[in-house]
């Protein structure tokens, strides 16, 4: 069994325990770990690291693809291993430590981290800790359910620790397309010209001598916690279907649309699934995380191909997909997140990007990350890579949060992740605002009329009108712009008494 997973015999004697592998990690090191939205994370070594730190304290810079499963970020936070964390996380314990200023969190566009590593602006990586489905005869690393930044971590690291996960289907081999851009300024065009393009290797080519240790594991990925569609997400999907139908009627799109991207989380996932109710067909995805919605669309006969950087599924969907992986494999490709999220490719393909906003302001600036403008939720992730370069940049949100106490449409967002230039369409359960080619004052009227919750609409319109009286391209009353957030911070609600 193990010989089919580690096909280079000379590497078999590098198998060690997680504890032995963890002991290689020293204080002050920069560690690159696999894992993207819970999928394909290293599972044994980081937990052994946390265990070790209880008696042998050490601190590291941890760089990943995106968020990890298995409470790894929690355990590494509780044992004070994390000094610095890059480029994304979604763990409640880590989040709290970040917001206390105890862990330095560098929130980055997900396409950019390995550019920084490759140009020696970040790093060098001391150890890459990478989950693999197999190691080839040449020592090539076959990733598991995500690639994320793993390929560049392995290529650029001084040494590599591989976790061979026997619970990951051997059939994952052949799914991956590992293409690494050449160095700048002599880089050539990235040859991806369609969702289906295969332009690289099915494994990460490395010098096998860099493999310092191999750990064998047998634990599944953490499941996605995505929730089912509800009336609001169904309404959002309905508005979006009608809008896209109108675009087809105007001749701007045909019923196959353009390649689709959907951000992580319940709302974007539900909206994407909801597209199955529209008249569209032969859809393709060029996205980062392939969630349940991807496979719902496959099973509905609506989707022909999906390109991503990870596969993150709920328990039920995971059973369905990995139980019959042959049914899906030739319609899938996983890429390094640098390529799945690359501005060059997203712009070339003309992706329709659907991302989730925490809140939007009346001019269409989007806050994706900071509660009340100060406290980090997860990070910007890939939303900026897609929103900036998309053919259509769509943001979805429910119009209220916290049981209706908070409006998701506010006078001014207290943290900007996406500027008005990068936001074409905003959809809430109340309606859709088409902001293309509109000036800020026109955008405000659309957003207030179509997206805001009726309970907050009048106050937004009142703010806007009083701001307009003071003039400007983007009218505001600075002394009042954050009064809704200030009320929320102090009283827990944006509603008036």
As annotated, the active-site residues are 288
The three-class DSSP label of residue 15 is strand
CA distances 246 to 253, 255, 364, Å, are 9, 11, 22
Contacts of residue 124, Cβ cutoff 8 Å, sequence gap at least 6:
30, 117, 156, 157, 158
Phi then psi dihedrals of residue 356, to 5 deg: -100, 135
Closest CB to a copy of itself among 313 and 392?
392
CA distance 439 to 444: 9
Closest CB to a copy of itself among 174 and 189?
189
Q: How far is the CB of 248 from a copy of itself (least distance, A)?
A: 12
Is residue 305 within 8 A of residue 196, CB to CB? The reply is yes
CA distance 468 to 441: 8
Exposed/middle/buried for residue 283 (C-beta within 10 Å: 0-12, 13-18, 19+): buried
Closest CB to a copy of itself among 205 and 350?
350
Q: How far is the CB of 275 from a copy of itself (least distance, A)?
A: 17
Closest CB to a copy of itself among 38 and 342?
342
Q: How far is the CB of 376 from a copy of itself (least distance, A)?
A: 4
Q: How far is the CB of 413 from a copy of itself (least distance, A)?
A: 9
Closest CB to a copy of itself among 166 and 461?
461
Is residue 263 within 8 A of residue 308, CB to CB? The reply is no
- Helices 454-470/440-450 angle, 10° precision: 160
Nearest Cα to 95, choosing from 55, 68, 129, 125? Answer: 68
Q: How far is the CB of 420 from a copy of itself (least distance, A)?
A: 8
Q: How many residues does the chain have?
A: 497
Tokens 């939205």 -> residue = 37
Nearest Cα to 140, choosing from 171, 174, 167, 114? Answer: 174
Exposed/middle/buried for residue 218 (C-beta within 10 Å: 0-12, 13-18, 19+): exposed
Q: How far is the CB of 103 from a copy of itself (least distance, A)?
A: 8
Q: How far is the CB of 472 from a copy of itself (least distance, A)?
A: 3
Closest CB to a copy of itself among 139 and 181?
181
The three-class DSSP label of residue 163 is strand
Nearest Cα to 213, choosing from 124, 125, 127, 126? Answer: 127
CA distance 413 to 474: 13
Closest CB to a copy of itself among 232 and 422?
422
Is residue 287 within 8 A of residue 262, CB to CB? The reply is yes
């Amino acid at each position: 069994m193990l010989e089919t997973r580690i096909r280079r015999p000379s590497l078999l004697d590098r198998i060690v325990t997680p504890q032995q592998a963890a002991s290689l990690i020293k204080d002050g090191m920069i560690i690159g770990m696999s894992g993207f939205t819970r999928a394909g994370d290293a599972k044994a070594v980081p937990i052994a690291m946390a265990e070790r730190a209880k008696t042998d304290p050490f601190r590291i810079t941890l760089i990943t693809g995106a968020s990890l499963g298995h409470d790894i970020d929690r355990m590494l936070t509780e044992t004070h291993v994390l000094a610095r964390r890059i480029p994304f996380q979604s763990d409640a314990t880590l989040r709290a430590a970040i917001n206390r200023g105890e862990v330095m969190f560098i929130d980055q566009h997900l396409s950019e981290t390995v550019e920084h590593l490759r140009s020696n602006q970040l790093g060098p990586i001391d150890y890459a800790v990478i989950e693999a489905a197999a190691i080839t005869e040449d020592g090539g690393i076959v990733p598991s359910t995500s690639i994320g930044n793993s390929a560049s971590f392995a290529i650029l690291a001084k040494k590599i620790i591989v976790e061979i996960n026997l619970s990951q289907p051997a059939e994952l081999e052949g799914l991956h397309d590992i293409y690494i851009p050449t160095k700048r300024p002599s880089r050539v065009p990235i040859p991806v010209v369609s969702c289906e393009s295969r332009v690289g290797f099915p494994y990460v080519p490395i010098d096998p001598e860099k493999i310092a240790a191999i750990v064998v594991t047998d634990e599944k990925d953490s499941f996605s916690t995505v929730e089912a569609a509800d009336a609001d997400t169904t309404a959002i999907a309905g508005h979006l279907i009608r809008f896209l139908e109108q675009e087809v009627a105007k001749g701007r799109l045909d019923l196959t649309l353009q390649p689709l991207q959907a951000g992580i989380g319940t709302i974007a996932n539900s909206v994407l699934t909801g597209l199955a109710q529209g008249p569209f067909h032969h859809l393709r995805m060029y996205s980062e995380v392939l969630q349940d919605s991807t496979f719902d669309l496959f099973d509905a006969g609506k989707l022909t191909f999906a390109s991503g950087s990870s596969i993150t599924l709920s328990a039920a969907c995971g059973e369905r997909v990995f139980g019959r992986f042959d049914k899906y494999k030739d319609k899938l490709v996983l890429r390094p997140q640098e390529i799945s999220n690359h501005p060059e490719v997203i712009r070339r393909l003309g992706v329709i990007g659907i991302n989730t906003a925490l809140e939007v302001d009346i001019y269409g600036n989007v806050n994706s990350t900071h509660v009340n403008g100060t406290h980090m939720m997860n990070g910007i992730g890939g939303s900026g890579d897609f929103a900036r370069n998309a053919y259509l940049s769509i943001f979805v949100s429910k119009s209220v949060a916290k049981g209706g106490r908070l409006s998701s449409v506010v006078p001014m967002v207290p943290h900007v992740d996406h500027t008005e230039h990068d936001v074409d369409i905003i959809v809430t359960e109340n309606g859709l605002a088409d902001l293309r080619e509109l000036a800020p004052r026109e955008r405000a009227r659309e957003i207030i009329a179509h997206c805001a919750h009726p309970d907050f609409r009048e106050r937004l319109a009142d703010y806007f009108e009083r701001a307009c009286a003071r003039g400007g391209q983007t009218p505001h009353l600075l002394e009042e712009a954050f009064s809704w957030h200030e009320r929320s911070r102090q009283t827990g609600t944006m509603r008036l008494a």
